[in-house]
Each structure stands twice: as C-alpha cells, then as structure tokens.
Structure 1
Amino acid sequence: MSAEHIAIGLVGYQNGYKSKLLRAFLNDEEHALAFCSNEAQIFKCASPDAACYISRKRGHVGSAFCAHPGHESDRVVLSKDVSLLDFPDKTVYASTILGGMFILDGVLILSDAKLPFARLPTVELIAAASVLNKNVVLVQSMKDPIDDTRILEHHHEITQLLTGMGLDEALTILPSTSANSNIGALSTRISNMCTAVYEYHAPAEMIIMDSCIHEDQGTEKTVLTIQGRVLKGVLKKKQQLEIRPGSFSHDDNGQIMCNPVIINVATLDSIGGNDQLEQAAAGDMITVRSNIDYEQIGGIVADMSGFVIGHVDSLPDVLSALKLKVILLPLMFDSYTEDFKEVSIIEKGEVLLVTVGMLSAAAEVRKVVDETTVVVTLKSPICARKEDKVLLLRSANVCWRLIGHGQIEDATVIKIGKAIHG
C-alpha cells in the first residue's frame, strides 16, 4: 500500500531524549537506531468518527486494529510514510540545520521540559520554517510523569512564543512506548502536516544530503553511495544521471567553467536500505548507488552534500553571483550575550553566508542597490534557479546567525563545460 511520503527533521540538545523519542515513535525498543535516518509509518483508525493515529517502524508487522478505547474493532489504514532525519544539535551548525529545512516537510524541536527553554536554535528554525512554508512541532520531553512547577512555567513560556508566531501549542511527551507517552498526539500532528506539491512529470531532480565512496570487497569495484530527496520527476534504475556543480576548470580565455559529473545508476534503495526500488518519485527519500571510476571522479564525489543530481542537461544553472531581493528579520540572536539584538542593514563589502537548498556559500556583498536589493559574489559557485529562495546568515562570534531571507532576481551564470563520465 502506498502513502504520501513526509520527511521530518529532529533537532535537540538532549541526545538521550532524542533516542527515546525515536524508539517510542517507531514502537521498537529492541533494534539499534539508524545514525542519520529512521523510517516509520503512521496509521489512522478507519472509523469515520475517529481521529486515532498510531506509529511504528516501517516494515514492522503490528496489529491491524486500532488500540484506542472504543475503537478496538476498527481497522487501521496507512496514512503516511515518514523519514525521520537526525540533524546536528550544536549552535555552530546553524547553517547546516537551516539548509536541511529545504528538503524537509517539517521539523521536531526537542526540549527538556524541566530545563529553561533554549531559544537557540529554536527561534531561527521557526523563522526559517515560516519563510520556507514548513511545519514545526516543539516537543517538551520528560523522563517521568511527575508534577513540577518548573515544567508548567517552561510550558507557559514556550506557549507564549509559539502563539506569537502563529504555531500550535508545544507537545509534552513521555518518551516511551507506554499508553501515557502521548506519542499518538505526535503521530496526529505529523500525519496532518501539509506537504509540498510535486511535479511528477518534470525531469528528475534530487538534492544530495550525503555521499560517500567505498570499495566493494566482492567485486573490487568502487561504489558511490548518494542519499537525498527527490524533488521532481522520477528516477529509475540503470539510467544516466548528471551531478552539478561537479568540478571546475577554465576555458582558453581563463574564464571559469563547470564540469558536471555523469554516473549510471546501479541500484535504488529506500534511504534506510530496507527496500530495493525500480524507481523513485518526487517526495521519496532514497539511496542511489553507482559503480564509478575512482581515478576519474573519486576526488569530486566523495563529499557532495548540497549538490543536485538528475536528468542530464535539465538541472539548474551554476551561479557565481546573485542579485537578491532581501527581507531582514527584525531581530537576530547573539550567541555571545544569549539575547536578541536588532539586525543592522547589509553593507557593501561584508561577507554573508547564503544558503540555497542544502548548499551554503560565503558571499561578499558587491553592491547595495537599495535597502531591499543587494548583489553578492559567491566564494564557491552554487546550483540554483532564478526565483529560488535563499536564507541569509551573518557571522556573530564565530557562529553564523540567521538575519533574513531573499529571492534570486538575477544571477551570473557559469558556462557548462565538458562533462566528466564516472
């Protein structure tokens, strides 16, 4: 049975809570959690007057009936396939977390109910989610179901923040598989999240989350493994795919050129490796494997986080400079003072961090056209289209902090040179 696929990022400082929450959501206390991704399924009670949801690990054979009181004889139907992705929880990785928002449908922000609410990176995540039309659920996690005035105080503080930002109330979760864990409420929130409208008939395109290469001991072939999310169209086994930006060279006039990489798909799998696929459609989280010539492309493809892969000659242009229409946030978080301060205007000559998709690049402000339009030169080219949304970050005490967002109005396009076949 097929269901809509939804990708959820999990961010939080308490890794112990994070693991327990995942185990409860997967309804699986025995098996080891995947390092970067876990796959689950959400089932809904088939009764027309019920709003009962349960979750369990994908592929796990569970009861076909609803366990909620009054609906024990009602069957459950598959509502959502869910990929749960673990994101870095250190504030210095803000650009990585925010970049990941581009491929997610929503994010779970994990907080310890008994500790003071950590505004960083929560406020930045909520701001980025609002810009990118993503869903946010703030989860307060408890070890034990105890009465504690601190829990009520922290919940009130978070509720005020979320209400002011137009979000639903935080969920309080006891991370266990017991009946009072409130995992059902979390399943309901996730199942009811809005997801993107995908172009299934467009040329295939996927953002790369991670890549690595290794030698297959059985065949002695070098294998490239790529993980990512399909954003458009359909990818199939044995087809040829292009990767941009790839590598760079110069033409006879000294002008920089982009040299895309071409690979042949050997296998397609679900991102957790549980299912082998003949094809993957827009919205799917998948793993692509290809046998490659290490001498040709090994040094290029070892780390391609943020690169784009898809049908040959159909990918976005590679850009070296951007004209951006920008909107600054009223406040930014100062990680040194642990407080908010007013966002100052963007000035010519300063260096920002521009995040497009999962790829971030340092960008020097070459020209300030007016208070809403700037032109930046990228330190490393990126693959993007006009009208794509971008996030803008400014350096603050070694960390990059979100100061606003923008849209690409115009760009300097790098010439596409000869492709490198792997």
Structure 2
Amino acid sequence: MRLQHIIILQNNVDLIQENVAMNQYEAIQCFIQGTVADGAPVVPISTQLKRNIDVVCEYIVKKIPIPERNFISPPKMIVIRSFDVNKLGFEVDEIRGGVAGGNILQGVLKVNQLIEVRPGIVDRDESGNIKCTPIYSRIVSLYAEQNELQFAVPGGLIGVGTTMDLTLTRADRLVGQVLGEVGSLPEIFVELEVNFFLLRRLLGVWRKGSRRQVKVSKLVKAEILMLNIGSISTGARVIALKNDLAKLQLTSPVCTSKGEKIALSRRIEKHWRLIGWGQIQAETTLEVPPCPL
C-alpha cells in the first residue's frame, strides 16, 4: 500500500514464555526481509502491563513526521464508536443527545454547527431496493479525553455530542458512518469499481504438514469478499472482472470517494483472511433525499 513509515508491534508478550517470544521475534524479522518493512523496528509490548508503550510513543514522536493538516476544507470525520451517555434515572431535562467518536480527517468542527451523517438510516423500499436517509443534527459539545472544546481539528480522537436521537447512537450503531458539514460529504455508493492488488501468500495460514504459506488465488466472479473502507466492514460480491479491475456489489451502502484505499478479505477455513488491497476508481451512487433544513 506504499506505506512510508512502519513500526511492528509484537503484542501480548506477557501471555507467552520468554523463549517463545524470542522465536516469534525472529520469525517476524525473517518474514519482513526483502519487503518494504525490512529494517522497521519490531517492538515487543504488553498493553496490560504497559511494557514498552513508552518506546512506541517515543518512536512515533521522533521518527514519524507530523502529517500536514487540512483546516480549510469542509470538516469530515470517520465515526469509530457511538454511544448513549445518559444514566438510568435521569430527569427529562438532564437527558443529552447521542455521542459519536472518531477521527477528523479534514476541516474544523465547531460547537453549534449543523452536521450531516451519511449513509444515515439504511432501509429497503417495497421493491427491496436500498434506501438511505442521511441524519441531520447539531453539535452541542466537543471533547478530547476529558477536555471540553469549542472547536476540534484533525489529530486524535474526538467525542462529538449531538442532538441525535439516542436510539441512533447506542451500542456503536453509527460505526462506519461519516460525519461532516451539511451538503459537503461524499456520495453514498452501492457498487464500486476497484483497482486491486493481491498478496502473494496468506498471512498466518500454512499448508498442512509443512511450513509453507498458502498462496492467494485469483478473484472469481460471484465470490463474496469482505471490504474494509474507513471504519466500516461490509460484504461485497464480485460481479465483473477485467485484469486488475473488479466491479463489486456491496451488501450495505458506504459513504466514501474515488481514490480511497480499501482492504480485501476472503473467507478461508471459517475465518476472514486479508488477501489484498484496492483503490476505488469508479462507483454507482445512491440517490438520497435533499436536506430538509
């Protein structure tokens, strides 16, 4: 995927013996030889015991340059969690709207700003066709950790308090959606044309009775894949293939744009395994009702 800065974390080393951890460390070093990750640091860590977390933070701060931030474009945030902050027994005037948390990709979010969430409420009409109704709301609070903000910019996780109905945000129901300024968000897609690149071998899958990794077979028309686009995971059926281009029909609509990178996974032995990645080239959009505001 043409990544420029790579750090490899060998996680959960507190759950295994020291000699096993050393063997795994050497296996990782062997695995990345000759790849773009050759020479990248491999850091054994334990999040439970907080071992080497400071090393990871130091490497990120000192070795990875701060990315350029776009504060001018209309704000766009990927939702990675959503929840209800109200507690049992709250009085009516104490009840607060739903909260969305995620990463701001561009622009600036401000308190009292009107926002749109896409794809929004997904349903089907009488003919079985997918229908999307974007959610419109207003920002009433912004938080970074425990700090209350008047505006939020790209970098770090942001909690956005809204006037949304609590049933829309409970139990991470907004995960995978995109939040931003009204009328500025990308289109909603039901089909994608993707320029794809397959891995040579499956990661972590070995041939029975040998230490040889299983090769990744070519895509097949009508097979079902799992796509990761932003923070959403959705199924997709391959409906057409031509060289390294594939047309995919999505099981659920997504809000994304051309040029976006996606991950491709295939179901192998009851598990979804990463088989490659792709870049969106074209799409079939879904019509949505106009903003009522």
Under TM normalisation by the shorter chain, which class is it?
A: 0.7 to 0.9
Alpha-carbon contact 1:261-1:420 (below 8 Å) kept: no
**Residue equivalent to 2:239:** 366
CA distance in 2, matches of 1:172, 1:395: 29
Q: Which secondary structure does the structure 1 equivalent of 2:257 belong to?
A: coil
1:93-136 CA-partner distances (Å, limit 9, x unpaired): xxxxxxxxxxxxxxxxxxxxxxxxxxxxxxxxxxxxx5555632
Note the aligned Cα RMSD (angstroms): 3.1
1:315-337 CA-partner distances (Å, limit 9, x unpaired): 11100001111111101146586
Q: Closer, same or farther in 2 for the Cα pair 1:363/1:212, shift >3 Å?
A: same
**Residue equivalent to 1:187:** 57
Deviation at 1:354, TM superposition (A): 1.4
1:21-53 CA-partner distances (Å, limit 9, x unpaired): xxxxxxxxxxxxxxxxxxxxxxxxxxxxxxxxx
CA distance in 1, matches of 2:126, 2:235: 27
Percent identical across equivalent pairs?
26
Deviation at 1:374, TM superposition (A): 0.9
Q: Closer, same or farther in 2 for the Cα pair 1:255/1:155, shift >3 Å?
A: closer
Alpha-carbon contact 1:221-1:292 (below 8 Å) kept: no
Deviation at 1:156, TM superposition (A): 2.7
What pairs with 1:252-401 in structure 2 (closer than 5 Å)?
256-270=130-144, 272=145, 274-293=146-165, 298=167, 300-302=168-170, 303-333=173-203, 340-368=213-241, 370-401=242-273
Q: Which secondary structure does the structure 1 equivalent of 2:28 belong to?
A: helix
Gaps of 5+ in 1: 1-129
With 200-209 and 211-220 compared, the bigger mean Cα shift is at: 211-220
Deviation at 1:250, TM superposition (A): 6.7
**Which of 60, 73, 78 is the equivalent residue of 1:207?**
78
Gaps of 5+ in 2: none
Q: Closer, same or farther in 2 for the Cα pair 1:167/1:259, shift >3 Å?
A: farther
Deviation at 1:195, TM superposition (A): 4.5
**Residue equivalent to 1:415:** 287
Q: Closer, same or farther in 2 for the Cα pair 1:132/1:353, shift >3 Å?
A: farther
What is the letter of the counterpart of residue 216 of structure 2?
A: V
1:127-167 CA-partner distances (Å, limit 9, x unpaired): xxx55556323246766xx9x66554443332222344324
Q: Which secondary structure does the structure 2 equivalent of 1:410 belong to?
A: strand
Q: Which secondary structure does the structure 2 equivalent of 1:265 belong to?
A: strand
Q: Which secondary structure does the structure 2 equivalent of 1:292 belong to?
A: coil
What is the letter of the counterpart of residue 278 of structure 2?
A: G
**Residue equivalent to 1:197:** 68
TM-score by length of 2: 0.83
**Residue equivalent to 2:107:** 233
Q: Closer, same or farther in 2 for the Cα pair 1:132/1:395, shift >3 Å?
A: farther
Alpha-carbon contact 2:207-2:214 (below 8 Å) kept: no
Q: Closer, same or farther in 2 for the Cα pair 1:403/1:174, shift >3 Å?
A: closer
With 185-194 and 344-353 compared, the bigger mean Cα shift is at: 185-194
With 259-268 and 220-229 compared, the bigger mean Cα shift is at: 220-229
What is the letter of the counterpart of residue 204 of structure 1?
A: P
